[in-house]
Each structure stands twice: as C-alpha cells, then as structure tokens.
Amino acid sequence: MGKDSKLNINGVWIVLAFIVLLILFALNEAEALELEAGPTILSGEYAEGGAMLVTERFGEGNVYGRWAVGFGYVSKQYCHCNYPADLDENNLFQLQRVIDYERAELGIGMAYFTNTNRALGKNMTWSLSLGWRFNDHWTMRVRHYSNAGSGSPNLGQDMLTLGYRF
C-alpha cells in the first residue's frame, strides 16, 4: 500500500545521514548518541512491527543538548484496527527541539518519511516525543508522528522505544 516518495529517497541517503551523525559525534559537537528500538503502534493498537532509531543530541543548554537529529527504520506493519492497514517498511529523518526537566524529556519537531501510507498521508509530518531517563544511559520514549490532519489518511505512526545513550 505504500506509495514511493516524490523525492525518491533510498538507502544511499540513510548511509549518508549515518555518516553525518558519526562526523558530528567525532567532532565533539554532539552531546549524546542514542540507539532506540521498540514496537510500532497504529490507532492505539500494536501493529505487528518494530522501529529502530539513531539520534544525536547537540546544542548547549540542556542535559544532553537542545536539538535531536536522527534517522530511523520502521518495519512492515499490519494493524487489526478499525481501519485495517498493511503498511510497507519505511525510513524516516527527523529534527526535534528537546526540553529536559529533571529526568523527563519533551520533544517537538518535523520528520520526513520516505513513503506515504494509510498511517501517514504525507511525507512531511510533525514529530512529538515524551521520554524518561532512568539513568545516564537508559531511556524510554513514546513517539508520535502525524500530519496533524493536513492530509488524508492520518492514522498516525506511534512507537514505544527503549534507548541506550553513549
């Protein structure tokens, strides 16, 4: 059901994004590099899929930097929800402004998905996250991606991830 991206982004861009993140980390511009993984959710129900994200935090002012830039992969999903959806795998790039308070994190920004589908009617979406840091390394986060009703369909893509910071 997925429709190819109008920008025709493929795996080469993911590799380039990974290289840029590594360069930022190597130049000590980054405050933290985080790997996240967890199940995917559509319309509030488990979608028989998973997601993996690599995020880098940079910018002074917060515990781990004010900005989060990253990329991710969402596996093939199927939702037995009110609007059954069989979704192909997808790649995403995101930029978020993150606010830390004690161990809690709140992020808002934009994300670009390489394919549109029943969950995301547009490639460009809003990116929201709410997270909790257990210590300096482990985090749990709920992520939500949506086009905020600017396109149809708009089930929204959700993830519950467990992350490890380096």
pLDDT in single tens digits along all 166 residues of the chain = 333 334 444 555 556 666 666 666 666 666 678 899 999 988 778 888 899 999 988 877 666 778 898 989 999 888 777 766 678 889 999 999 999 899 999 999 999 998 888 788 888 999 999 999 999 899 999 999 998 877 777 888 999 999 998 7
Maximum Cα–Cα distance for the chain, whole Å?
48
pTM: 0.80
Query: Looking at domain 11-165, which of 1.50.10.10, 2.40.160.20, 3.40.50.12280, 3.40.980.10 is its CATH number?
Result: 2.40.160.20
Question: What residue type is assigned to position 107 of the chain?
Answer: G
57 neighbors 31 (Cβ within 8 angstroms):
yes
| Rg, C-alpha atoms of the chain | 15
Give the E-state strand segments of the chain in sequence order: 30-42, 45-58, 67-74, 77-79, 85-87, 90-101, 104-113, 124-133, 138-146, 157-165
User: Which pLDDT score, from 0 to 100, does residue 7 have?
Assistant: 42
Q: What is the pLDDT of residues 118-161, one digit of tens each?
A: 788 888 999 999 999 999 899 999 999 998 877 777 888 999 99
